[in-house]
Structure formats: structure tokens, C-alpha cells
């Protein structure tokens, strides 16, 4: 599969509840590398319940591919639950820290853009600004696109974290 | 050591009675406290393990000390951990019980890798126990350290590193449960040396552990079962396609009753051989790359296909866009990730074939398929399996047929990989489950002989014939020492064509006879002398008459291995053959058709 085709595949967010150990995390990552599935981002951290962790994965693929990913994740012994949030009402957030050069446009212009995205300035130097932005991945993508022409010096994204909304409303397809 | 005087090694050896101090020296107050090694062995015995295949080394010395003089477990000292893993695999395939392997850290563990991958591909329950360096030095590149949990992660169903001796019993019971439930597979447990020496509690937990995250679906979804029954009842050209899942799921009786009552033709995969008796009129034999002409045609032409514990492997389907295009497909499998992976199906049923097949059987009525049977009978008449005309040479096909006759089709046949494997699959009559043992998915050369040892140890009352080749046998020939030591009566029928037959066949058909590194010629050893050097009976056959004598002589031996060097026709090819990339009905049946 060439990259240009893969990019067009729809995005899916999977929320995976697992036992908190690195073997499980490795097994899950191993599925993606061994079977050649796309993996845009992955986050792993402890859950509220002791001994449990939640892994949020964003991947790309057609329905058949994502269904197969879902099944293979279920086959991992220490996986308790896999939810594909793509077909549910969900809350999704990502945080990014972006260092932008102020050489081309000056600080005010960059800060205006930051304001538009409700981003915070968290560091200032003579020729750079560091911005903190939070939102869903699309918003983060959009801000990065806008900032690119000014010169992004470095950036760090957390990858998506997401949960199912409690109220699924009338379109709940469960 | 704070020794003040030089130690005289002879004086330093403790009296024999104290060599094995652990269990004997226990007092009443500490009966609940055992070393990790003792907990390990107690748990294995508790789980019903009677045989383990192992090889000692530094990290597992505590376990070997516990095994010393232990009579609850039979330990077979194999000569290489890879062979030990294959032997445990053969033991499992012959019995359905999990096979158990014990290897030391580092190279001991890495030597088990091929055996584990073999078991993984064919869904064989194994529990592989590996020693590990002490927990304090894990990660420090200690002597004989390897990250075996990391190395085996993609080829195990689950694996563990046990750091705390008080988790050992639970982890072992969980490992056996996971290996044997759902779609079976290998599980590895890594045991650091200090943990094995630490005292801990043995709780005597229930063998049937509850794992909330591991609950395989056993009973199929009823509406899907009803749909499948209706489709089969109304089918005009139905076909049952049975895979290894029917054997792993102990469902051969259910499958046989179902196919006979509905009178639907049955084809089995390589892994499914024996799940449906080939003596029954419904049997079409094996399908796939070297399957029968009529099984492959039935697969291509059928209108309703029911896959029973099979996974639509590429060696079965041929080119996917030419595979059984006009059929509605029902797929029963306990592993949901197998369903719809290679081939789209109309009725997926996740469940245990042992439960699902009788449920469908209850609802289905025999379809009216006289015309379909007439077509199949015509195919069978026009395109039987080809066997060369007899002359004064030994043809491989005749050799397999002769073994089938001499053993009345009642032996356990174990093979390596290649031409001999396909001939053994085609020409032996498989009427019993767990009587065909072969590395199907991974295609592991060197598998046959050690797996045959495992099968023979598991089933002392049955004849075990290892049909192998000169290539595959040489990958495990050192195990002759083990077979002789333990008097394991494996009959090795070595189909000797002085070449890597299947590689040579492909080079002949697709690479213009450029036999690149596939011909051993006179560089093969004298296999009879090789056998004799191990103290094993070696026999040779160069013509059909000698072959009959040699086979009869070998089968009469009941308490020792026999190696038969059988000189077969060298340039014989295995047909029918679906060339790589061709559709299943585009078979080549002879050298003439292949254009050579």
C-alpha cells in the first residue's frame, strides 16, 4: 500500500482497556508492525482502576481493516475491552507544544493566530514563541498548517486521548 | 568463600543422601513453604503433566536438582531444544494434551523459537519453560541472557516473566489454561534463577483458573446457525471444508455424523486429515496446492461452502480472485480474527465446532444433490490421484501406499516438509484423528523425527512412522541418540532422493531446471551407517521387493527406533499441483501438462 493511498483512508480512534503491563503494550504495538497496519498515534497510561491501563490508538484503514484490528486486539489475552470511538459520540483531546519562529512575521501576528486557536504562549525567546494548544486532533492539525509558513522549529504532540460520551443520544448504533 | 584451608574437591562432595535436600529435609512447620523449583514441579504434576522434554543449563540447575530422583514426572533429555519443542508438539498433536518443554536461559530459549513458531502457526498447545538469569542482573547482558519474552512475543499466545515466587503457581495454571482454551497455542513462562531458589507458598489453586479478559466464545450465535442450516438444506452443490480446528476441538465424531447424515461431500485441509475418515464415500480427500483434482474442482464449483475450523490459507485457496466464486460461505471458527481475513463470508459463526456443528445438524435437512454427486463421481473417475506404473524402481507414491497397507492405515504418520509430506498426505489412508502430524503452517523442516518421538512416547500402543526426506531428516538426525536412549520405537522411513525434492521440483518447473543448491547427490551420508553409529538398526531398500521386506522387518521392532534408507526415484514430481499464483482449478496433473 503506498503512502498516498493510505492517507486517504478514514481515521479511527480505538480505546483499549488493558491490564497495566508493558508486555501487553508491546503485544498491541506488535500487531500493528507485524501486520502492516497504520498507526498515527498511541497513548498509554494508568486507568482509575488499580492495575489497569487505557491505550488510545488512532489508526487509518477501511472498515474491513479496522474490524480485523479490533479482532486481533481482542485476541491479546490481557485486553479487556476494545471500543471503536469512531462510530460513537466521543470526547477527544490532544495537546501539542509548538515552537514557532518569529523572524518572518514578528510576535504579534503569531500571537493573534494563537489567540484564534485558544492556544497559550508558554515560552518566549528573542526569535521564537512556544505555544500550547489543546483540542481534537483536527484542530491541532489545522493550527500546525496555519503556523507552517512562519517556520515551525520543533513540536511535540501527545497523540489523542479519548473516551466515549455518556450520552449517546438518538444515533446510538450499539 | 571464607575458606581458610584449600578445599579438596573430593572432600567437598556431600554424602549422597544430602544431594537432594529440599523435600526430604522439610519439617512440619514449613510444609507450606517450597522453593520456586519445587512449586514448579508440584504445579506441573498437579496439572496432569506426565512428560517434559528438556535440556539442562546454568539457569535451570535448581529445576534439575528438583527433578533429580523425582518419579512423578518423566523427563526426556533431548539433544537440542528445538527438537525438544517439536517433540512436545508431536506429543500434543497425538494426545490433545499440552506439550511441555524445559530449556535454559539464552541459547536454550532461542533454540526453542522455531518450535514455538511451528506450534503457533498450527495452533498447538505448548507450555515452554525457560530459565532466566537472576532478576538482579536482567538487562545487564549477563552470561546466557536473552530477552526471550521479547523474542517470543509475536509467536506465543501469551508469555510471562515470573519475578515473584508467590505468583509462580498462578502464572503456570494461567499459562496452561490459555494454551489449551479457545484457539490453542504456545505459551512461554520465563523463570529467573533466583526466583527458582526462593521459598514461597504453594496454595494448591484450582487448575481451572478464571481470566476475565480471556473468555473464548464457544456457542455460536443462534440466528446464524439457523441461517447456515437453511442454506445447507437448500443447497444444490454443497461442500464441507474441514480444517485442523475439527481435530483441535475434538469434533471429528460430530463432523462425521453431520456429513454422513446430510450426505454432503467433505474435503479436508492438510491439518484436517483424519477429522473425516477417508474410507467414507463422502470423502474427497485433501484439497489445495497438492490436493485431489476433484476436491479442488468441488471447491471451485460448489454453491454453499461450510468451512469448519479452517482458515482459508493461501495453499488451500490458490489465487484468491479465482477461489470458489459462486458459493455462499459459512465459516465456523473459535478465533474471530480468522473469519473474513482472507475470504469474505456470508455467514460467520464464532464458536467451538464441537458445539456449532451439532447445532446446525439439528436444524438442517439433507439437501437433494444427486446431480452434484454424479458430477463429483465423474470427476473422481476421470481424474484420480496419479500413481506411476510399477517397475523395478521405488516410486515415492508406492512407498507411501505400501506403508499404508502394512500398517492397515492405523499408524500415526509424522512428516517433515516437502514432496514426501505431500505424497504422505495424498497416498496414506487417514481414517483416524490425531494420526497425521505435520508442520502445516510454518512448514518446518527438521520437525518430523523429533515430533514422531513425542507422538511415540505419548502413544506407546500405536505404530509411529516418520516419513521424512534426506533434507529434513538431517536437520534433526542427532535425535537418534535420544530415540535409542529411551527406546522410542519410531520407524523412520527416509525417502532418499539425494535432493531437496520440492525445491528441485519448483526449479524444474519454474526455473528452467537450474538446480541451484538443491541437489546433495553423493554428499549425503550413509544413513545406515549413521543409524548404526548411534546403536540404531539401519536398513536399506533399493527396489520394491527390498522395500516390502525392510518395512515388515522394521514394523516388527517394538522397542527401538529403526531407520530405513529408502532409495526412491530422484526426479519424481508431486502432482496434482496448483502452480503458485494460479487459481485452484488450474491444476497441472503430470510432467507432460507441466511442459517438461
Please report whether residue B18 resides in a domain.
no
**Element holding B264 (H helix, E strand):** none
Give the best residue of A18, A75, A76, A80 to mutate against chain B (max B CB count within 10 A): A75
Chain length of chain B: 596
Whether residue B115 is predicted with pLDDT greater than 60 in this model: the reply is yes
Whole-number pLDDT of residue A174: 53
Mean pLDDT across B85-91: 98
What Cα–Cα distance (Å) separates residue B533 from each residue in B101, B541, B566? 27, 19, 18
| Nearest of A115, A118, A154, A155 to residue A136 by alpha carbon | A118
C-alpha cell at B503: 525445491
Give the best residue of B177, B185, B337, B339 to mutate against chain A (max A CB count within 10 A): B337
A72 to chain B, any CB pair closer than 8 A? The answer is: yes
A78 to chain B, any CB pair closer than 8 A? The answer is: yes
Which residues of chain A neighbour B214 with C-beta distances below 8 Å? 77
Which residues of chain B neighbour A68 with C-beta distances below 8 Å? 337, 340-341
Chain length of chain A: 174
> Do B344 and B429 share a structural domain?
no
| Nearest of B91, B175, B100, B122 to residue B335 by alpha carbon | B122
Cβ-defined contact of A77 to B214 (cutoff 8 Å): yes
> Do B187 and B43 share a structural domain?
yes
Q: Phi/psi class of residue B523: alpha, beta or left (left: φ > 0; alpha: ψ in -120 to 50)?
A: alpha
Distance CA(B294)–CA(B386), nearest Å, equals 12
Distance CA(B20)–CA(B418), nearest Å, equals 47
The sign one gets for the Cα dihedral B55, B60, B66, B68 is positive
**Alpha-carbon gap: B249 to the closest alpha carbon of chain A (Å):** 18
Last residue of a domain, one of A87, A120, A148: A87
Q: Domain holding A27: CATH number? A: 3.30.70.260
pLDDT in tens, chain A (174 residues): 444 444 568 999 999 999 999 999 999 999 999 999 999 999 999 999 999 999 999 999 999 999 999 999 999 999 999 999 998 899 999 999 999 999 999 999 999 999 999 999 999 999 999 999 999 999 999 999 999 999 999 999 999 999 999 888 765 555
Please report whether residue B416 resides in a domain.
yes
> Do B456 and B519 share a structural domain?
yes
Could you tell me if B447 and B391 are in contact, meaning their C-beta atoms sit under 8 angstroms apart? no
> Do A82 and A96 share a structural domain?
no
> Do B227 and B190 share a structural domain?
no
B213 to chain A, any CB pair closer than 8 A? The answer is: yes
> Do B361 and B233 share a structural domain?
yes
Q: B273 Cβ partners below 8 Å, 6+ apart?
A: B286, B425, B430, B436
- Average of per-residue pLDDT values in chain B: 94
> Do B48 and B152 share a structural domain?
yes
C-alpha cell at B409: 492405515
Could you tell me if B107 and B135 are in contact, meaning their C-beta atoms sit under 8 angstroms apart? no
Please report whether residue B400 resides in a domain.
yes
Strands (E) in B238-387, as ranges, are 238-242, 266-268, 283-286, 304-308, 328-333, 347-350
Instruction: Judge whether B81 counts as a catalytic residue.
Output: yes
> Do B294 and B230 share a structural domain?
yes
The separation between CA B360 and the C-alpha centre of its own chain, rounded to angstroms, equals 29
Which residues of chain A neighbour B337 with C-beta distances below 8 Å? 68, 71-72, 74-75
Q: Which of B38, B42, B53, B81 is catalytic?
A: B81
> Do A51 and A114 share a structural domain?
no
Cβ-defined contact of A34 to B158 (cutoff 8 Å): no
| Nearest of B234, B177, B236, B178 to residue B207 by alpha carbon | B177
**Element holding B440 (H helix, E strand):** none
> Do A74 and A27 share a structural domain?
yes
> Do B403 and B305 share a structural domain?
no
Distance CA(B359)–CA(B219), nearest Å, equals 9
Strand order in the sheet with A41-46: A41-46, A52-60, A11-19, A79-84
Q: DSSP character for B195?
A: H
B459 to chain A, any CB pair closer than 8 A? The answer is: no
Q: How many domains does chain A have?
A: 2
Cβ-defined contact of A77 to B211 (cutoff 8 Å): yes
Q: What is the ipTM of this complex?
A: 0.88
Render pLDDT for B393-438 as a digit per residue (tens, 0 to 9): 999 999 999 999 999 999 999 999 999 999 999 999 999 999 999 9
> Do A64 and A105 share a structural domain?
no
Give the three-state DSSP class for B472: helix
Q: Which of B143, B215, B571, B593 is catalytic?
A: B143
DSSP for A69-128, written as a single string: HHHHHHHSTTEEEEEEGGGS-EEEEEEEEEEEE-TTT-HHHHHHHHHHTT-EEEEE-SSE
Please report whether residue A49 resides in a domain.
yes
Whole-number pLDDT of residue B30: 47
Q: Domain holding B162: CATH number? A: 3.40.50.970
- Cis previous bond, B576, omega within 30: yes
Which residues on adjacent β-strands are paired with residue B23?
none
Q: B337 Cβ partners below 8 Å, 6+ apart?
A: A68, A71, A72, A74, A75
> Do B366 and B309 share a structural domain?
yes
Cβ-defined contact of B154 to A30 (cutoff 8 Å): yes
Please report whether residue A170 resides in a domain.
no
Quote the domain boundaries for residue A48.
3-87
Last residue of a domain, one of B322, B351, B382: B382
Render pLDDT for B260-314 as a digit per residue (tens, 0 to 9): 999 999 999 999 999 999 999 999 999 999 999 999 999 999 999 999 999 999 9
Please report whether residue B22 resides in a domain.
no
Q: Domain holding B342: CATH number? A: 3.40.50.1220
Please report whether residue A167 resides in a domain.
no
Which residues of chain A neighbour B216 with C-beta distances below 8 Å? none
> Do B411 and B312 share a structural domain?
no
Minimal-distance CA residue of chain A relative to B149? A23
Please report whether residue A21 resides in a domain.
yes
Render pLDDT for B532-546 as a digit per residue (tens, 0 to 9): 999 999 999 999 999
> Do A27 and A70 share a structural domain?
yes
> Do A97 and A36 share a structural domain?
no
Whole-number pLDDT of residue A167: 86
Give the three-state DSSP class for B296: helix
> Do A101 and A40 share a structural domain?
no
> Do A121 and A104 share a structural domain?
yes
> Do B376 and B423 share a structural domain?
no
Instruction: Judge whether B214 counts as a catalytic residue.
Output: no
Please report whether residue B171 resides in a domain.
yes
Confidence of residue B9 (pLDDT cuts 50, 70, 90): very low
Q: Domain holding A107: CATH number? A: 3.30.70.1150
Cβ-defined contact of A80 to B341 (cutoff 8 Å): no
Which residues of chain A neighbour B161 with C-beta distances below 8 Å? 23
> Do A82 and A133 share a structural domain?
no
| Lookup result for grid cell 471503536 | A84
**Alpha-carbon gap: B414 to the closest alpha carbon of chain A (Å):** 30
Whole-number pLDDT of residue B386: 86
Cβ-defined contact of A77 to B158 (cutoff 8 Å): yes
C-alpha cell at B342: 482472507
Please report whether residue B4 resides in a domain.
no
What Cα–Cα distance (Å) separates residue A78 from each residue in A94, A124, B177, B522? 26, 45, 14, 54
Which residues on adjacent β-strands are paired with residue B271?
none
Q: DSSP character for B487?
A: T
Percent of chain B with pLDDT over 70: 95
> Do A128 and A152 share a structural domain?
yes
Which residues of chain A neighbour B160 with C-beta distances below 8 Å? 23
Minimal-distance CA residue of chain A relative to B187? A77
A132 to chain B, any CB pair closer than 8 A? The answer is: no
**CB-CB neighbours of B433 under 10 Å:** 22
* Among candidates A27, A74, A80 on the partner chain, residue whose Cβ is nearest the Cβ of B212: A80
* Among candidates A27, A30, A68 on the partner chain, residue whose Cβ is nearest the Cβ of B337: A68
What Cα–Cα distance (Å) separates residue A91 from each residue in A54, A63, A80, A94, A125? 15, 21, 21, 10, 34
Whether residue B32 is predicted with pLDDT greater than 80 in this model: the reply is no
Could you tell me if B553 and B493 are in contact, meaning their C-beta atoms sit under 8 angstroms apart? no
Distance CA(B530)–CA(B562), nearest Å, equals 12
> Do B264 and B164 share a structural domain?
no
The separation between CA B124 and the C-alpha centre of its own chain, rounded to angstroms, equals 7
Backbone angles phi, psi at B458, to 5 degrees: -75, -35
Last residue of a domain, one of B325, B359, B382: B382
Please report whether residue B76 resides in a domain.
yes
Last residue of a domain, one of A69, A87, A105: A87
Whole-number pLDDT of residue A170: 66
Q: Which of B231, B502, B564, B577 is catalytic?
A: B502
A79 to chain B, any CB pair closer than 8 A? The answer is: yes
Mean pLDDT across B77-105: 98
- pTM higher than the cut 0.90: yes
Which residues of chain B neighbour A61 with C-beta distances below 8 Å? none
Render pLDDT for B196-242 as a digit per residue (tens, 0 to 9): 999 999 999 999 999 999 999 999 999 999 999 999 999 999 999 99
Last residue of a domain, one of A55, A72, A87: A87
Mean pLDDT across B542-560: 97
Last residue of a domain, one of B153, B171, B201: B201
Whole-number pLDDT of residue B18: 44
Please report whether residue A174 resides in a domain.
no
Please report whether residue B126 resides in a domain.
yes
Render pLDDT for B35-72 as a digit per residue (tens, 0 to 9): 999 999 999 999 999 999 999 999 999 999 999 989 99
**Alpha-carbon gap: B441 to the closest alpha carbon of chain A (Å):** 17
* Among candidates A30, A72, A77 on the partner chain, residue whose Cβ is nearest the Cβ of B213: A77
C-alpha cell at B76: 526426556
Give the three-state DSSP class for B435: coil
Cβ-defined contact of B213 to A19 (cutoff 8 Å): yes
> Do A69 and A20 share a structural domain?
yes
Q: How many domains does chain B have?
A: 3
Burial class (CB in 10 A: 0-12, 13-18, 19+), B54: buried
A21 to chain B, any CB pair closer than 8 A? The answer is: no
Whether residue B19 is predicted with pLDDT greater than 50 in this model: the reply is no
Minimal-distance CA residue of chain B relative to A70? B337
Give the three-state DSSP class for B82: helix
Confidence of residue B1 (pLDDT cuts 50, 70, 90): very low
Instruction: Judge whether B121 counts as a catalytic residue.
Output: no
Q: Euclidean distance between the first and final Cα of chain B, in Å?
A: 75
Q: B339 Cβ partners below 8 Å, 6+ apart?
A: B331, B333, B345, B348, B350
Distance CA(B502)–CA(B508), nearest Å, equals 10
**Element holding B343 (H helix, E strand):** none
Cβ-defined contact of A80 to B157 (cutoff 8 Å): no
The separation between CA B430 and the C-alpha centre of its own chain, rounded to angstroms, equals 16
Quote the domain boundaries for residue B127.
32-201
Mean pLDDT across B26-37: 69
Could you tell me if B357 and B251 are in contact, meaning their C-beta atoms sit under 8 angstroms apart? yes
| Lookup result for grid cell 514441579 | B41
Whether residue B481 is predicted with pLDDT greater than 60 in this model: the reply is yes
> Do A75 and A116 share a structural domain?
no
* Among candidates A67, A75, A80 on the partner chain, residue whose Cβ is nearest the Cβ of B335: A75
The sign one gets for the Cα dihedral B455, B456, B458, B461 is positive
Please report whether residue A173 resides in a domain.
no
Amino acid at each position: 500500500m503506498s503512502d498516498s493511498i493510505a492517507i486517504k483512508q478514514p481515521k479511527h480512534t480505538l480505546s483499549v482497556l488493558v491490564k497495566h503491563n508493558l508486555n501487553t503494550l508491546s503485544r498491541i504495538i506488535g500487531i500493528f508492525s507485524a501486520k502492516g497496519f497504520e498507526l498515527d498515534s498511541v497513548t498509554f497510561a494508568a486507568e482509575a482502576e488499580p492495575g489497569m491501563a487505557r491505550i488510545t490508538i488512532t489508526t487509518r484503514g477501511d472498515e474491513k481493516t479496522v474490524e480485523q484490528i479490533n479482532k486481533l486486539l481482542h485476541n491479546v489475552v490481557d485486553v479487556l475491552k476494545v471500543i471503536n470511538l469512531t462510530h460513537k459520540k466521543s470526547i477527544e483531546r490532544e495537546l501539542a507544544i509548538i515552537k514557532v519562529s518569529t523572524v518572518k512575521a514578528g510576535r504579534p501576528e503569531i500571537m493573534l493566530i494563537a489567540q484564534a486557536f485558544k492556544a497559550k504562549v508558554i515560552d518566549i525567546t528573542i526569535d521564537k514563541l512556544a505555544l500550547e494548544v489543546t483540542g481534537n486532533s483536527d484542530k491541532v492539525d489545522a493550527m500546525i498548517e496555519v503556523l507552517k509558513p512562519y517556520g515551525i522549529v520543533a513540536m511535540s504532540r501527545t497523540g489523542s486521548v479519548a473516551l466515549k460520551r455518556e450520552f449517546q443520544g438518538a444515533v446510538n448504533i450499539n | 568463600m571464607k575458606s581458610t584451608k584449600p578445599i579438596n574437591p573430593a572432600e567437598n562432595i556431600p554424602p549422597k543422601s544430602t544431594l537432594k535436600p529440599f523435600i526430604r529435609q522439610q519439617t512440619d512447620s514449613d510444609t507450606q513453604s517450597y522453593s520456586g523449583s519445587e512449586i514448579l514441579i508440584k504445579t506441573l504434576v498437579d496439572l496432569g503433566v506426565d512428560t517434559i522434554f528438556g535440556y539442562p543449563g546454568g539457569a535451570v540447575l535448581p529445576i534439575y536438582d528438583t527433578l533429580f530422583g523425582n518419579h512423578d514426572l518423566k523427563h526426556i533429555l533431548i539433544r537440542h531444544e528445538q527438537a525438544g519443542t517439536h517433540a512436545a508438539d508431536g506429543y500434543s498433536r497425538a494426545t490433545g494434551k499440552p506439550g511441555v518443554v524445559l530449556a535454559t536461559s539464552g541459547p536454550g530459549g532461542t533454540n526453542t523459537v522455531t518450535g514455538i513458531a511451528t506450534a503457533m502457526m498450527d495452533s498447538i498447545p505448548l507450555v515452554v519453560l525457560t530459565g532466566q538469569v537472576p532478576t538482579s542482573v536482567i538487562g545487564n547482558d549477563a552470561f546466557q541472557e536473552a530477552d526471550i519474552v521479547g523474542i517470543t512475543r509475536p509467536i506465543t499466545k501469551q508469555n510471562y516473566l515470573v519475578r515473584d515466587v508467590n505468583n509462580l503457581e498462578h502464572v503456570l495454571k494461567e499459562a496452561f489454561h490459555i494454551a489449551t482454551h479457545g484457539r490453542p497455542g504456545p505459551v512461554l513462562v520465563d523463570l529467573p534463577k533466583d526466583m527458582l531458589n526462593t521459598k514461597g507458598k504453594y496454595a494448591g489453586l484450582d487448575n481451572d483458573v478464571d481470566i476475565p479478559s480471556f473468555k473464548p466464545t464457544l456457542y455460536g450465535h443462534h440466528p446464524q446457525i439457523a441461517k447456515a442450516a437453511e442454506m445447507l438444506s437448500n443447497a444444490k452443490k454443497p461442500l464441507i471444508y474441514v480444517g485442523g480446528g475439527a481435530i483441535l476441538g475434538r469434533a471429528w465424531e460430530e463432523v462425521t455424523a453431520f456429513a454422513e447424515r446430510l450426505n454432503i461431500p467433505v474435503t479436508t485441509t492438510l491439518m484436517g486429515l483424519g477429522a473425516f475418515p477417508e474410507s467414507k464415500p463422502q470423502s474427497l480427500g485433501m484439497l489445495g496446492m497438492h490436493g485431489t483434482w476433484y476436491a479442488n474442482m468441488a471447491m471451485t464449483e460448489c454453491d454453499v461452502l461450510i468451512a469448519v475450523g479452517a482458515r482459508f490459507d493461501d495453499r488451500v485457496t490458490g489465487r484468491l480472485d479465482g477461489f470458489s466464486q459462486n458459493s455462499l460461505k459459512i465459516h465456523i471458527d473459535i478465533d474471530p480474527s480468522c473469519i473474513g481475513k482472507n475470504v469474505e463470508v456470508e455467514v460467520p459463526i464464532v464458536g467451538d465446532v464441537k458445539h456449532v456443528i451439532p447445532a446446525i445438524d439439528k436444524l438442517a435437512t439433507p439437501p437433494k444433490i444427486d446431480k452434484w454427486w454424479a458430477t463429483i463421481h465423474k470427476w473422481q473417475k476421470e481424474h484420480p490421484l496419479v500413481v506411476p506404473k510399477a517397475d523395478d524402481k521405488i516410486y515415492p507414491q508406492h512407498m507411501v501406499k505400501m506403508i499404508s497397507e502394512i500398517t492397515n492405515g492405523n499408524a500415526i504418520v509424522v512428516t517433515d516438509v516437502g514432496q514426501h509430506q505431500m505424497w504422505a498426505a495424498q497416498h496414506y489412508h487417514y481414517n483416524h484423528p490425531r494420526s497425521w502430524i505435520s508442520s502445516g503452517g510454518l512448514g518446518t523442516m527438521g520437525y518430523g523425527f523429533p515430533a514422531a518421538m513425542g507422538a511415540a512416547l505419548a502413544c506407546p500402543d500405536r505404530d509411529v512412522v516418520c516419513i521424512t526426506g534426506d533434507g529434513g531428516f538431517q536437520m534433526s538426525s542427532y535425535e537418534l541418540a535420544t530415540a535409542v536412549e529411551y527406546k522410542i520405537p519410531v520407524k523412520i522411513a527416509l525417502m532418499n532422493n539425494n535432493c531437496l525434492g520440492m525445491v528441485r521440483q519448483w526449479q524444474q518447473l519454474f526455473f528452467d531446471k537450474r538446480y541451484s543448491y538443491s541437489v546433495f547427490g553423493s554428499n549425503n551420508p550413509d544413513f545406515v551407517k549413521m543409524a548404526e553409529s548411534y546403536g540404531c538398526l539401519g536398513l536399506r531398500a533399493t527396489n520394491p521387493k527390498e522395500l516390502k521386506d525392510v518395512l515388515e522387518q522394521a514394523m516388527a521392532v517394538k522397542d527401538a527406533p529403526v531407520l530405513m534408507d529408502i532409495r526412491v526415484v530422484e526426479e519424481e514430481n508431486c502432482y496434482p499441483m496448483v502452480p503458485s499464483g494460479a487459481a485452484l482449478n488450474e491444476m497441472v496433473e503430470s510432467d507432460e501438462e507441466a511442459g517438461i
